[in-house]
């Protein structure tokens, strides 16, 4: 007699009644907190690590530790993979599947992005770098201008040996996500849930191999083939929590998930100080770490992590995170260029950081209150699955 096997991805074609996770009946406030944590990590990295300051020993140790904050982008990828895949899986049978998905994403992403991109083109037309004495809109080897409207700027280094100017430098990750949005609906519509889960697992496994193929190229770490595993990790978790078998398995293994996440965090921190543990692909390790954190946040709402993630401050920054992400580097760079040098330099750095953060948050709040929130509401009112 054949032994039963553990199938973590339930087949949607089974004769038993379809199971629906009760968790999915409510808004997951913990995910707003994760999004808020991600944006605070990214802004802290750009404002405190990649800005010049006196190299005191204590500062060097602090900035090394904050070097991991740049992986907040990977947390965004994991969250996007999870949320978008979940929406598509749940709406797979809708007659308005493609129309509603793309209409809602256009309402959410395009207005703010193309508005910021329009300011970039105006900066080039009016030669603002030379007039203002800044380096925001041009660099030595500018990427072609046509790649920005079609969300391909993340491949500028590999394709053209070029980089994106400071004003639009952070939009590389938005390009990766938009490419993901472009192909995922067709995949979800074409295959069943189990095939989608196994496909995500395959992407995670082969991603380190793809990075080996491109790692000699300029700015390879931003290319599309280099950043697929984080999105696939989120997509895989979206599949798992919709399986009754996998859901109960994840609920029973909290300690194992927590220990694995702690190990990956300690290993990554040690690597930032030059201490090497078991060799792991850095991007894959970070993706799996954030995937484990996501599992703890979603599957164990009574845990300490969730109590932290439900904090109102994190929720607020999660709500305005998209605008903060788009604005923060341009605002910081412009502020840094316009404030004259003075001593002590550390005081100047603190002034630049605080002023930049204040302006960025203000702009993001205005964007949310008067643009983003209204467009999101319109999209959900007009377009239905």
Is the predicted pLDDT of residue 14 greater than 50, yes or no?
Answer: no
313 CB burial (10 A radius; 0-12, 13-18, 19+): exposed
**Three-state secondary structure call for residue 142:** strand
Q: Among 200, 190, 189, which Cα is nearest to 87's?
A: 189
Percent of the chain whose pLDDT exceeds 90: 74
Q: What is the mean pLDDT of residues 40-61?
A: 76
Which pLDDT tens digit goes with each residue over 128-141?
999 888 889 998 78
Which pLDDT tens digit goes with each residue over 173-228?
999 999 999 999 999 999 999 999 999 999 999 999 999 999 899 999 999 999 99
Computed over every residue of the chain, the mean pLDDT equals 90
* pTM given for the model: 0.92
Residue 284 burial (CB count, 10 A): 18
- Residue 1: its pLDDT value, please? 43
Query: Among 61-75, 76-90, 333-347, 355-369, which is the least confidently predicted range?
Result: 61-75
Answer for the pair 299, 264: CB distance below 8 angstroms, yes or no: no
Running DSSP on this structure, what letter comes out for residue 53?
A: -
Higher-pLDDT residue of 366 and 17 is 366
User: Which residues, 6+ apart, have CB-to-CB distance to 22 below 8 Å?
Assistant: none
Q: Among 274, 275, 351, 365, which Cα is nearest to 322's?
A: 365
Is the predicted pLDDT of residue 241 greater than 70, yes or no?
Answer: yes
Is the predicted pLDDT of residue 2 greater than 50, yes or no?
Answer: no
Q: What is the mean pLDDT of residues 359-380?
A: 98
The DSSP line for 203-228 is HHHHHHHHHHHHTTSTTGGGSGGGSH
Question: Residue 69: is the preceding peptide bond cis (ω within 30°)?
Answer: no
Q: What token pair was written down for 263?
A: 């190990």
Running DSSP on this structure, what letter comes out for residue 45?
A: I
pLDDT band, residue 267 (cuts 50/70/90): confident
């Amino acid at each position: 007699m054949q032994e039963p096997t553990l199938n973590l991805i339930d087949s949607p074609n089974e004769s038993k009644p379809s199971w629906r996770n009760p968790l999915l009946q409510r808004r997951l406030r913990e995910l707003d907190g994760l999004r808020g944590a991600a944006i605070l990590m990214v802004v802290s990295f750009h404002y405190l690590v990649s800005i010049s300051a006196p190299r005191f020993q204590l500062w060097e140790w602090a900035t090394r530790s904050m070097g991991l904050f740049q992986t907040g982008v990977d947390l965004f990828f994991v969250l996007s993979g999870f949320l978008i895949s979940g929406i598509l899986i749940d709406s797979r049978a809708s007659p308005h599947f493609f129309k509603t998905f793309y209409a809602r994403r256009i309402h959410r992403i395009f207005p703010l992005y193309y508005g910021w991109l329009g300011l970039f083109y105006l900066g080039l037309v009016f030669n603002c770098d030379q007039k203002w004495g800044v380096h925001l809109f041009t660099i030595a080897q500018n990427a072609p201008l046509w790649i920005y409207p079609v969300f391909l700027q993340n491949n500028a280094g590999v394709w053209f040996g070029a980089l994106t100017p400071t004003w639009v430098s952070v939009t590389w990750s938005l390009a990766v996500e938009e490419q993901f949005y472009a192909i995922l609906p067709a995949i979800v519509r074409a295959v069943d849930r189990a095939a989608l889960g196994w496909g995500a697992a395959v992407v995670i496994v082969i991603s380190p191999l793809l990075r080996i193929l491109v790692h000699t190229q300029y700015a390879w770490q931003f290319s599309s083939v280099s950043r697929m595993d984080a999105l696939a990790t989120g997509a895989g978790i979206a599949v798992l929590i919709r399986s009754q078998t996998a859901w109960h398995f994840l609920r029973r293994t909290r300690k194992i998930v927590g220990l694995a996440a702690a190990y990956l965090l300690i290993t990554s921190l040690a690597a930032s100080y030059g201490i090497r543990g078991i060799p792991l692909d850095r991007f894959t390790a970070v993706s799996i770490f954030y995937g484990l954190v996501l599992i703890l946040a979603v599957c164990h709402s009574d845990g300490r992590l969730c109590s932290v993630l439900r904090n109102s401050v994190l929720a607020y920054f999660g709500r305005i995170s998209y605008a903060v992400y788009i604005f923060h580097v341009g605002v910081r760079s412009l502020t840094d260029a316009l404030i004259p040098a003075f001593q002590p330099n550390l005081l100047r750095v603190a002034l630049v950081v605080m002023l930049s953060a204040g302006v960025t948050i203000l702009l993001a709040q205005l964007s949310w209150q008067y643009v983003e929130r209204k467009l999101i509401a319109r999209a959900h009112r007009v377009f239905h699955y």
